[in-house]
Amino acid sequence: MASMDQKLFCFGFGYTARHFADRLRADGWHVAGTTRSNEKAAKLRAQNIEAFTWDGGDIDLAWLEDVSAVLISTPPDKSGCPTFRAAKNAITAHAEPIKWIGYLSTNGVYGDHDGAWVDETSGLRGQSPRALSRIEAEQQWLSLEVKTPVTIFRLPGIYGPGRSAFDTIRTGKAKRIYKDGQVFSRMHVSDIASALADSLSMLQQHEIYNLADDEPAPPQDVISFACELLGVTPPPLVPIEQAGLSEMAKSFYADNKRVSNARMKATLKTRLDYPTYREGLKALLKHHKEES
C-alpha cells in the first residue's frame, strides 16, 4: 500500500502497536491512536501522533475519517473485545477508505497441546478466562460484515528493547524455572512489526496468522543464554513446584505447545531478522552497548 496520505489508527498504543506505528511513520504514514491517560495522550501528541483519550465507551465517528488501516491491540474482557463493541459501527460507516483491519490476539487460544506443533487449523483448547475471552474477540472481528480484510494475528511471547531477558536479569528478577518438556514460542517485536507490515501490503480477506520465530524453547534456556552474553552467573534452576509462582504465572505454564509460523512465511513472505532468541538477544545487547 502506498504511503502517500495513508493513516493508521491504533486502538491501544502499547509496546507492539508503537513499534508497528513507528515503522509506518518512517514510510510516511500518519498515525493516530487511543490511550487511557491524558498524560500519555499529551506525550504522543508531542511526538506528532494524533492521540485520543478513550475509556472504552462509544467512539466518535470522526476519529476514523480518512483512516486507511486499523490496528486493535486492546485486551479483551468477559464479553470479548471492547473495541469491537465500541467501534464496529464507526468502522462500518468508514469501511470504504479503510483497507486493512488487524486484531492482535494470542496463541493462548490454542491452550495445551502437550508440546506438539500447532498451526492455524489446530483446535482451540484454551480454557482460561483470558483464552476464552480472546476466542470470543477473534470471532467478533471475523464476523464483521465489511469488505475490508480482517486479519487475526496470534502473538507469542514478545520481546525487544526494554523488554527482554536482559531486563529481568539486570533488575534481579530473573528465574530459571524448570518444567519437564515445557517450551514457549516468542518473537522479536521488530519481526512482529514486519509481519504486520507484510499483511498490510497484501490485503487478504479474513485470514488468521500465527506469529512466532523458528524455535520454541524452554524459558530457562533463554535466561541461561542471556546470562552467558552478559557474562554473569545464571540463577539456579528451580523446579516449577518450588518456584512459588502466582496463579497468573502458573496458568502460562499450564499450556505447552510449539507454534508454527509456516503460513506467515508462505503467505505473507515475512523474513525474520531474528529467527531464534539467540539472534534477537545478541542484537539487543549490541544495540545496548552502542547506546552506552
Neighbouring CB atoms inside 10 A of 260's CB total 19
160 vs 45: CA distance, rounded Å: 24
Identify the pLDDT of residue 257: 98
Identify the pLDDT of residue 56: 84
The class (CATH top level) of 7-159+187-213+259-273 is alpha beta
Identify the pLDDT of residue 196: 97
Residue with C-alpha cell 475519517? 65
Identify the pLDDT of residue 289: 72
Q: What is the model's pTM?
A: 0.95
Per-residue H/E/C for the chain: CCCCCCEEEEECCCHHHHHHHHHHHHCCCEEEEEECCHHHHHHHHHCCCEEEECCCCCCCHHHHCCCCEEEECCCCECCECHHHHHHHHHHHHCCCCCCEEEEEEEHHHHCCCCCCEECCCCCCCCCCHHHHHHHHHHHHHHCCCCCCCEEEEEECEEEECCECHHHHHHCCCCCEEECCCCCECEEEHHHHHHHHHHHHCCCCCCEEEECCCCCCECHHHHHHHHHHHHCCCCCCEEEHHHCCCCHHHHHHHHCCCEECCHHHHHHHCCCCCCCCHHHHHHHHHHHHHHHC
Per-residue pLDDT of the chain (292 residues; tens, 9 = 90+): 444 589 999 999 999 999 999 999 999 999 999 999 999 999 999 999 999 999 888 888 889 989 999 999 999 999 999 999 999 988 988 878 899 999 999 999 999 999 999 999 999 999 999 999 999 999 999 999 888 889 999 999 999 999 999 999 999 999 999 999 999 999 999 999 999 999 999 877 669 999 999 999 999 999 999 999 999 999 999 999 999 899 888 888 999 999 999 999 999 999 999 999 999 999 999 887 776 5
Question: How do strand 30-35 and strand 7-11 relate by DSSP bridges?
Answer: parallel
- C-alpha pair distances (Å), 149 with each of 73, 172, 205: 17, 44, 4
Tens of pLDDT, residue by residue over 224-283, are 999 999 999 999 999 999 998 998 888 889 999 999 999 999 999 999 999 999 999 999
Mean pLDDT, the chain, whole residue set? 93
Identify the pLDDT of residue 247: 87
Identify the pLDDT of residue 292: 53
